[in-house]
Structure 1
Amino acid sequence: MLLRSGDLAGFARRVWRRLRGLWKTLESNTDLIDHGEWRKRWVDLTERDREVAAGWKSATLFAVAVGNGPPGAVASTVASLGAQLHDRWAIGAEAEDANWVVELEAGVVLHPAALATVARAIDTNPGLRLVYADHDHLDDGGRPVDPCFLPDWNPDLFEGLGWIGALVVRHQTVDAKQVTGLDGGIVHHLPFLLASRPTRLRDADPAPVRHRWPVDNPPPRVSVIVPTRDQGRLLEACLTSLRGRTRYPDLEVVVVDHDTTERRARRLIDGLADNPDAVVVPFTGPFNFAAMCNRGVEVASGEVIVLLNNDTEVVADDWLDELVGQLARPEVGVVGALLLFADGTIQHAGVHPGVGGLMGHGHKHRPGDDPGYHGRLTVAHEVAAVTGACLGITRKLWNRLGGLDEEHLAVAYNDIDLCLKARAANLRVVLTPHAVFHHHESVSRGYDEDPVRRARLQREVAVMEERWGDALHADPAHSPNLALTGDGFTPAAVPRVTPPWRVR
Structure 2
Amino acid sequence: MKYKIDIARIRENSMILNGWVIGRAEESEAEFQVLDGSENPVEFKLVPVRRDDVSQIYFKKTVAKDLGFDIRIPYIRETNEDRILVIQCDGKTVKVKLNASILERQNSSAHKRTAKLKGMMNAQTLCSAVDFWKENGFKALLLKSRHKLQGIDSDYDYPEWYSLTKTSDEELEAQKKTAFDYNPKMSVVIPAYKTPERYLAAMLDSLLAQTYSKWEVCIADGSPKGESVERVLKRYASKDERIRYVILGENKGISGNTNAAIEMAAGDFVVLADHDDTLAPDALFECVKAINSDPEIDVVYTDEDKLDMDGGELFEPHFKPDFNPDLLTSVNYICHLFVVNHDLLMEVGGFREEFDGAQDYDFIFRCTEKARKIYHVPKALYHWRCHQNSTSSNPESKLYAFDAGARAIKSHYERMGIGVKSVEKGVDYGIYRSTFEIIGEPLISVIIPNKDHSADLDLCMRTLIEKSTYRNLEFIVVENNSTAPETFAYYEKIQKEFDFVRVVKWDREFNYSAINNFGVSFAKGEYLLFLNNDTEIINPESIHELLGFCQREDVGIVGARLLYSDDTIQHAGVVVGFGGIAGHTFIGLHKAESSYFNQAMCARNYSAVTAACMMSKRSLFDQVGGFTEELQVAFNDIDYCMKIRSINKLVVYAPYALFYHYESKSRGLEDTPEKVERFNREIKKFSERWPDILREGDPYYNPNLTLRKSNFALRDLKKEKIGEPYKLEV
| TM-score where L is the length of structure 1 | 0.87
In 2 relative to 1, CA 365–331 (structure 1 residues): closer, same or farther, beyond 3 Å?
same
The answer as to whether partners of 2:578 and 2:708 remain within 8 angstroms in 1 is: yes
Displacement of 1:497 in angstroms is 2.8
SS at match of 2:560: strand
Matched, 1:118 2:287: yes
**Pick aligned residue for 1:90 from 209, 212, 217:** 217
- Mapped partners of 2:580, 2:458: distance in 1: 33
Post-superposition offset of 1:82: 2.8
1:80 has 2:221 as partner: no
Q: Which has the higher contact order (CA 8 A, sep 6+)?
A: 1
- Kindly provide the CA deviation profile for residues 80-125 of structure 1, in whole angstroms up to 9, marking residues without a partner as x: 2232223422214844312322222343211011112212322343
Aligned residues: 470
- The change in CA–CA distance for 1:259 and 1:50 in structure 2 (over 3 A counts) is closer
Query: By how many angstroms is 1:328 displaced?
Result: 1.1
Q: 1:183 to 1:346 in 2, by over 3 A?
A: farther
Shift of residue 302, structure 1, vs aligned partner: 0.7
- Who is 2:277 aligned against? 108
Aligned to 2:654: 432
Equivalence for 2:569: 346
For the residues of structure 2 that align with 1:180 and 1:221, how far apart are their CA atoms?
A: 37
The aligned runs of 1:300-311 (5 Å cut-off) are: 300-311=523-534
Query: Where do 1:481-500 residues align within 5 Å?
Result: 481-494=704-717, 495-497=721-723
Q: Which residue of structure 2 lines up, in the alignment, with residue 197 of structure 1?
A: 384
Instruction: Give the secondary structure class of the aligned counterpart of 1:356.
Output: helix
Q: Distance in 1 between matches of 2:518 and 2:672?
A: 28
Q: 1:114-153 alignment to 2 at 5 Å?
A: 114-140=283-309, 142=311, 143-153=313-323
Q: Which amino acid aligns with 2:202?
A: S
Partner residue, 1:441: 663
User: Is contact 2:188-2:218 (8 Å) kept?
Assistant: yes
Q: Is the CA contact (8 Å cut-off) linking 1:257 and 1:280 kept in structure 2?
A: yes
Range that drifts further, 243-252 or 70-79? 70-79
The aligned runs of 1:160-309 (5 Å cut-off) are: 160-172=330-342, 173-174=344-345, 175=348, 176-179=363-366, 181-182=368-369, 186-200=373-387, 201=390, 202=392, 203-204=394-395, 206=402, 207-217=430-440, 219-274=441-496, 275-309=498-532
Work out which of the residue numbers 46, 50, 59 in structure 1 matches 2:172: 50
Q: Does 1:61 align with 2:186?
A: yes
Report if aligned partners of 1:134, 1:192 keep a CA contact under 8 Å in 2: yes
Asked if the contact 2:451–2:482 (Cα under 8 Å) also holds between the matched residues in 1, the reply is yes
Query: Contact (CA 8 Å) 1:53, 1:117: kept in 2 or not?
Result: no
Aligned amino acid, residue 37 of structure 1: E
Q: What is aligned with 1:3? A: none
Distance 1:39 1:186, change over 3 A: same
| Cα deviation, residue 163, structure 1 | 4.3
Q: Deviation at 1:170?
A: 1.3
- The AA in structure 2 aligned to 1:61 is M
Cα distance in 2, alignment partners of residues 28 and 103 from structure 1: 34
Q: Deviations over 1:363-399 (max 9, x none)?
A: 1111224453213223211101111101111111111
User: For residues 176-203 of structure 1, what are the alpha-carbon distances to aligned partners after superposition, in whole Å with 9 as ceiling and x for unaligned?
Assistant: 2434643775111111111111344323
Q: Contact between 1:235 and 1:265, CA under 8 Å: does it hold in 2?
A: no
* Range 113-122 or range 70-79, more displaced: 70-79
Between 180-189 and 99-108, the greater mean CA deviation after superposition? 180-189
- Match in the other structure for 2:701: 478
CA distance in 2, matches of 1:122, 1:291: 45
Report if aligned partners of 1:333, 1:393 keep a CA contact under 8 Å in 2: yes
Contact 2:298–2:372, Cα closer than 8 Å, also in 1? no
> Kindly tell me: are residues 237 and 466 of structure 1, through their superposed partners in 2, closer, same or farther at Cα, counting changes over 3 Å?
same
Match of 1:136, SS state, is strand
Q: What is aligned with 1:36?
A: 159
| 8 Å contact from structure 1 (residues 229, 259) kept in 2 | yes
Question: Could you say which residue in structure 2 is the equivalent of 1:401?
Answer: 624
Give distance in 2, aligned partners of 1:128 and 1:67.
29
TM-score by length of 2: 0.61
User: Which residue type is aligned with residue 483 of structure 2?
Assistant: T
**Distance in 2, Cα, partners of 1:155 & 1:290:** 30
8 Å Cα contact 1:405/1:414 also seen in 2:
yes
Per-residue deviation, 1:325: 1.4
The farther-off stretch of 89-98 and 124-133 is: 89-98
Which sits farther off after the overlay, 187-196 or 162-171? 162-171
Tell which deviates more after alignment, 181-190 or 352-361.
Answer: 181-190
Shift of 1:256: 0.9
> 1:426 Cα shift?
0.9
For residues 207 and 303 of structure 2, the distance between their equivalents in structure 1, rounded to whole angstroms, comes to 17
Distance (whole Å) between structure 1 residues aligned to residue 639 and residue 445 of structure 2: 21
Name the CA distance, whole Å, in 2 between partners of 1:69 and 1:490.
Answer: 37
SS at match of 1:391: strand
> Is the counterpart of residue 374 in structure 1 residue 612 in structure 2?
no
Task: Report the AA paired with residue 198 of structure 1.
Answer: R
Q: Is the 8 A contact 1:137 1:198 kept in 2?
A: yes
CA contact (8 A) 2:586 2:600 kept: no
Deviation at 1:472, TM superposition (A): 4.5
Q: Secondary structure at the match of 1:460?
A: helix
Cα distance in 2 for partners of 1:180, 1:212 equals 24
Inter-partner Cα distance in structure 2 for 1:69 and 1:164: 26
1:452: how far off?
Answer: 1.1
Identical positions, percent: 32
C-alpha distance in 2 between matches for 1:329 and 1:371: 29
CA 1:381/1:225 → structure 2, altered by over 3 Å: closer, same or farther? Answer: same
CA–CA distance in structure 1, aligned partners of residues 364 and 627 of structure 2: 40
Aligned-residue offset at 1:27: 13
Structure 1: distance between partners of 2:216 and 2:507: 70
